[in-house]
């Protein structure tokens, strides 16, 4: 008799064990993702330490160049947008973004910061800054403010979310909780049937 239970129902027990095993597997998968993310952040941190500037003429190596200083030609900027962001002095305000190269993926340029979302009328030109992902696209965060704007806070690879350990702990906890609840439910059911 295990855990005070005389008879374990086969089908419900198998279902609960399968669910718990799936949760444990997801927990280990998150631990694996944690290692991958830590390695990626380490690579990006090494990129951020490089002082040389790479001409970004193709996106074939863009992921490898993440957080490196790159230079792009933004000859005909379009689709101006002001998004919430911080200045190099860590003041909240607006970052001014233009589309430099349309397509899939696209390349945007964050050309500077201001306290108001006003169109700086960027006529285009060379943009030098840090290359980072923007969803499925890329953006270059200008190292210096352009078109009269102030510099933007430099992207830091350590700001990337890395909560895989917390997710792993959650999955392990869910698995344990499911097993404990199942055992308690069976014990109560058997106790009620014995009392009847």
pLDDT of residue 1: 54
Please tell me whether residue 150 adopts helix, strand or coil conformation.
strand
Pair 98, 81 in one domain: yes
Q: What is the DSSP letter of 78?
A: E
Please check whether residue 61 lies inside any domain of the structure: no
pLDDT of residue 3: 61
Pair 150, 86 in one domain: yes
Pair 147, 72 in one domain: yes
Q: How far apart are CA 23 and CA 180, in angstroms?
A: 14
Strand order in the sheet with 92-101: 53-55, 69-74, 125-134, 137-142, 107-114, 92-101, 78-86
149 is in which domain, residue-wise?
A: 68-154
Pair 88, 111 in one domain: yes
Residues in the chain: 196
Pair 148, 73 in one domain: yes
Pair 141, 191 in one domain: no
pLDDT of residue 112: 94
Please check whether residue 106 lies inside any domain of the structure: yes
State yes or no: cis peptide before 157, omega within 30 of 0: no
The conformational region for residue 3 under phi > 0 = left, psi -120 to 50 = alpha, else beta, is left
Please check whether residue 49 lies inside any domain of the structure: no
Please check whether residue 135 lies inside any domain of the structure: yes
pLDDT of residue 188: 86
Q: How far apart are CA 103 and CA 153, in angstroms?
A: 27
Please check whether residue 110 lies inside any domain of the structure: yes
**pLDDT, one tens digit for every residue, the chain (196 residues):** 566 566 778 888 899 999 999 999 999 999 999 999 999 889 889 988 988 898 988 888 888 889 999 999 998 999 999 999 999 999 999 999 999 988 889 999 999 999 988 888 888 999 999 999 998 999 999 999 999 999 999 999 988 888 999 999 999 999 999 999 999 988 888 877 776 5
Please check whether residue 43 lies inside any domain of the structure: no
Pair 103, 178 in one domain: no
Please check whether residue 19 lies inside any domain of the structure: yes
Tokens, residue 107? 């390349």
Number of domains in the chain: 2
């Amino acid at each position: 008799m295990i855990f005070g239970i005389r008879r374990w129902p086969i089908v419900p027990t198998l279902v609960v064990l399968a669910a718990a095993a799936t949760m444990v597997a997801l927990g280990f998968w998150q631990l694996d993702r944690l290692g991958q993310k830590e390695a990626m952040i380490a690579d990006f941190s090494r990129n951020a330490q490089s002082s040389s500037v790479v001409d970004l003429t193709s996106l074939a190596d863009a992921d490898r160049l993440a957080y490196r200083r790159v230079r792009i030609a933004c000859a005909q900027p379009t689709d101006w947008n002001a998004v919430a962001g911080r200045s190099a002095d860590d003041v909240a305000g607006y970052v001014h973004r233009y589309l430099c190269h349309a397509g899939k993926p696209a390349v945007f340029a964050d050309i500077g910061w201001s306290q108001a979302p006003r169109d700086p009328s960027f006529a285009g030109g060379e943009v030098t800054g840090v290359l980072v992902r923007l969803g499925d696209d890329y953006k270059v965060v200008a190292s210096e403010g352009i078109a009269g704007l102030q510099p933007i806070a430099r992207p830091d690879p350590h700001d990337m979310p890395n909560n895989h350990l917390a997710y792993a702990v959650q999955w392990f906890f869910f698995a344990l909780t499911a097993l404990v609840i199942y055992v308690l439910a069976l014990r109560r059911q058997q106790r009620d049937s014995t009392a009847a």
